[in-house]
Amino acid sequence: MIARGVMLGPDQPVIIHMLDIEPAAEALNGVKMELIDAAFPLLKDVVATTNVVEACQGVNIAVMVGGFPRKEGMERKDVMSKNVSIYKAQASALEQHAAPDCKVLVVANPANTNALILKEFAPSIPEKNITCLTRLDHNRALGQISEKLNVHVSDVRNVIIWGNHSSTQYPDINHATVKTTNGEESVRDAIANDNWLNTEFITTVQQRGATIIKARKLSSALSAASAACDHIRDWVLGTPKGTWVSMGVYSDGSYGIQPGIIYSFPVTCEKGQWSIVNGLKIDELSREKMDATAKELMEEKTLAYSCLIDD
């Protein structure tokens, strides 16, 4: 997708740096061969390496897909401590070797907290340049609405994912609209089923990742890659007028969410910068759900910092 211009547009040449661990070096080289064999006009060079310094050298955009997955019988703290050490090392390499304006997107779970650790150990990268992926959840919410209404997914816009990229996230459709034959109307009015919207819709989006793992025996691949491209494309090239997207960003206290955590907000992007959409009306149910996911992020932060002390 990156080599085809899906992420940065059809006119932007790219050099792809790929980093993997030593045991995967041979497979990584195979991916490099395939990229070369595809003869993509935009692909200027491919660097495939197991050396973190070489991988981070001069990069403008870093998409962090590597992390330690939770395995059966593992406690949250075990997963967190493994990811803390991975992201601490990655952060130092980016801090020292990436381009000064490097934009970072963390995909690997726990994405919000991995991004927070990265921010902590890469102090010279501006905090506005460190984000995590909730666009996958945003796209999942759009997909559910478009299926329910039997409309094209591009006719639905302005859903919001609040909070953590976990099962406490809150997919909010209170400000979402859909294009119909009678013009634009609110998704809530178009669906006219509050019970479905306030229960099944929310849990379907929250649990979608787990449902896919159950079906495929592997976690989301295509949809996650596509969402990562969407996230970077909108961040770099801007969001369409009148549309916002969901991004996990460093909280500035907007909507009463405590600063100091990476939280998913609705944002618009222009000239390579994102801004939180402010002034949206928040009802009681939303407030409760937004606070619950913020609470989980504060707990994750405490857990992550305790792993740092144990280091």
Please give the domain boundaries of the chain with CATH numbers for all domains: 1-130 (3.40.50.720), 132-300 (3.90.110.10)
pLDDT band with cut points at 50, 70 and 90 for residue 311: low
Choosing from 97, 138, 152, 165, the catalytic residue is 165
- Is 231 one of the annotated active-site residues of the chain? no
User: Model-level pTM?
Assistant: 0.96
Work out the average pLDDT over 298-307.
94
149/108 Cα distance (integer angstroms): 32
> What is the average per-residue pLDDT within 64-84?
84
Q: Is 3 within any annotated ligand binding site? A: no
The answer to whether the annotation marks 20 as part of a ligand binding site is yes
Start-end of H helices in the chain: 25-37, 52-56, 76-97, 111-121, 135-149, 187-191, 194-198, 200-216, 222-237, 284-310
The pLDDT of residue 93 is above 90: yes
Which position has the higher pLDDT, 180 or 116? 116
Answer yes or no: is 83 a known binding residue.
yes
Q: Is the pLDDT of residue 309 over 90?
A: no
**Annotated binding-site residue? 107:** yes
Sign for the CA dihedral angle at 228, 254, 289, 157 comes to: negative
* Tens digit of each residue's pLDDT (9 = 90 or more) over 201-247: 999 999 999 999 999 988 899 999 999 999 999 999 999 999 999 99
